[in-house]
């Protein structure tokens, strides 16, 4: 009996893991920091997360239905995008703003470029930057934990404003500081990160090199020398750890080559350090990641290993 054989080049390794399983693991990993943020900041923060996730899923469903495309909401990628957008927002933000961000992320950044696997930057971070530019005041108004009023500043803002200021490291680690819903508790972020590493969903290479590069950059250019307390304040303050483990490791917008991943993480660290120390804002993680996302195709192209049996490029 004649059979049609599919001939293709090696490698022929296959993995049984599916996109939906990966995205489901990411959702599980985000649960600790989501639960902590909602407990700390209250019911409004919970509604922000719920509605940002809901609108992301609805946007994907409506677009694919209107364009007569296969419905892909079952792969959980839209839910992950909406959840990340909600967690990247201040707890006091009007609910319609993250909902708008979710629609922007799904329609403009993801679907108009061909859907999952074709977007050139992380949709959740692109939406956050869009919201920061469009609603700067709302996106930078913080709730002070334990106080039923609006105001205060993030620890990073205090560090940037005053060279002599020091942050409370215990408060940073445990999350008793102003910030976005998902970034405040570093313990919860690490619990989720460890889960993803154990499940082999992410490699620790990119986040660890990224964080280490920021630490070295701060030590060299921060003006305080090798002040370990100050360096730890920069590492645990803001969204560095959240971005490093949950967004810089995005499969679609990070390099696929081992050497490329190292270069990518180093560039992320340098750009983040530049934004934090010399830019107008005390943060910079979101802009650093989406800017580096843009050059990922070039990084991949320049770091593809020479195929076995082929001569390397001649000088």
Tens digit of each residue's pLDDT (9 = 90 or more) over 135-192? 999 998 887 665 444 445 677 777 777 666 677 888 888 888 888 999 999 999 999 9
- pLDDT confidence tier of residue 314, bands split at 50, 70 and 90: very low
Report the percentage of the chain scoring pLDDT > 70: 87
Give the number of other Cβ atoms within 10 Å of residue 184's Cβ.
30
pLDDT the model gives residue 238: 87
Residue boundaries of the structural domains of the chain: 20-302
Query: Partners of 150 in the beta sheet?
Result: 143
* pLDDT of 313 above 60: no
* pLDDT of 80 above 90: yes
* pLDDT of 270 above 60: yes
42 versus 146: the higher-pLDDT residue is 42
Alpha-carbon span 225 to 70, nearest angstrom: 55
pLDDT the model gives residue 311: 59
Nearest to 166 by CA among 240, 232, 238: 232
Residue 281 φ then ψ, to 5°: -110, 155
Q: Per the structure block, which two tokens stand in for 95?
A: 């609910």
CB 29 within 8 A of CB 190: no
Residue 59 φ then ψ, to 5°: -60, -45
- pLDDT confidence tier of residue 11, bands split at 50, 70 and 90: very low
Q: Per the structure block, which two tokens stand in for 91?
A: 């707890």
From the candidate CATH numbers 1.10.3470, 1.10.3430, 3.30.420, 3.30.750, the one assigned to the domain spanning 20-302: 1.10.3430
Q: Per the structure block, which two tokens stand in for 207?
A: 């986040």
Alpha-carbon span 189 to 237, nearest angstrom: 12
Nearest to 106 by CA among 93, 131, 120, 124: 124
pLDDT the model gives residue 148: 44
Distances (CA, A) of 182 to 12, 75, 127, 170, 213: 39, 22, 16, 17, 23
pLDDT the model gives residue 262: 96
Q: Per the structure block, which two tokens stand in for 48?
A: 């922000």
Taking 3-state DSSP, the helix, strand and coil percentages for the chain, each rounded to the nearest 5, stand at 60, 0, 40
Mean pLDDT estimate for the chain: 87
143 SS3 class: strand
């Amino acid at each position: 009996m004649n059979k049609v054989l599919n001939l293709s080049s090696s490698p022929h390794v296959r993995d049984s893991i599916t996109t939906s399983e990966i995205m489901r693991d990411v959702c599980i990993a985000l649960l600790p920091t989501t639960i902590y943020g909602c407990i700390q900041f209250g019911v409004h923060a919970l509604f922000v997360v719920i509605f940002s996730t809901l609108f992301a899923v609805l946007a994907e469903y409506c677009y694919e239905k209107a364009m007569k495309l296969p419905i892909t909401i079952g792969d959980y990628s839209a839910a992950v995008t909406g959840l990340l957008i909600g967690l990247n927002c201040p707890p006091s933000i009007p609910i319609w703003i993250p909902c708008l961000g979710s629609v922007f992320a799904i329609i403009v950044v993801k679907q108009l470029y061909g859907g999952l696997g074709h977007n050139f930057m992380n949709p959740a971070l692109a939406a956050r930057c869009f919201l920061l530019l469009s609603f700067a005041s709302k996106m930078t108004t913080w709730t002070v934990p334990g106080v039923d009023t609006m105001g205060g500043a993030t620890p990073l803002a205090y560090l940037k404003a005053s060279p002599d200021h020091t942050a409370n490291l215990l408060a940073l680690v445990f999350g008793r500081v102003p910030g976005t819903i998902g970034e405040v508790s570093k313990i919860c972020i690490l619990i989720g990160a460890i889960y993803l590493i154990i499940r082999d969903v992410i490699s620790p290479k990119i986040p660890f090199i990224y964080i280490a590069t920021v630490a070295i950059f701060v030590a060299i250019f921060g003006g305080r020398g090798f002040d370990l307390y100050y360096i730890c304040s920069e590492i645990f303050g803001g969204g560095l750890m959240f971005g490093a483990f949950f967004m810089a490791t995005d499969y679609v917008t990070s390099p696929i080559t081992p050497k490329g991943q190292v270069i990518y993480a180093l560039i992320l660290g340098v750009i983040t350090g530049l934004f934090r120390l010399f830019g107008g804002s005390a943060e910079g993680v979101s802009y650093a990641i989406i800017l580096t996302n843009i050059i990922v195709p070039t990084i991949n192209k320049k770091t593809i290993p020479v195929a076995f049996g082929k001569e390397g490029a001649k000088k």
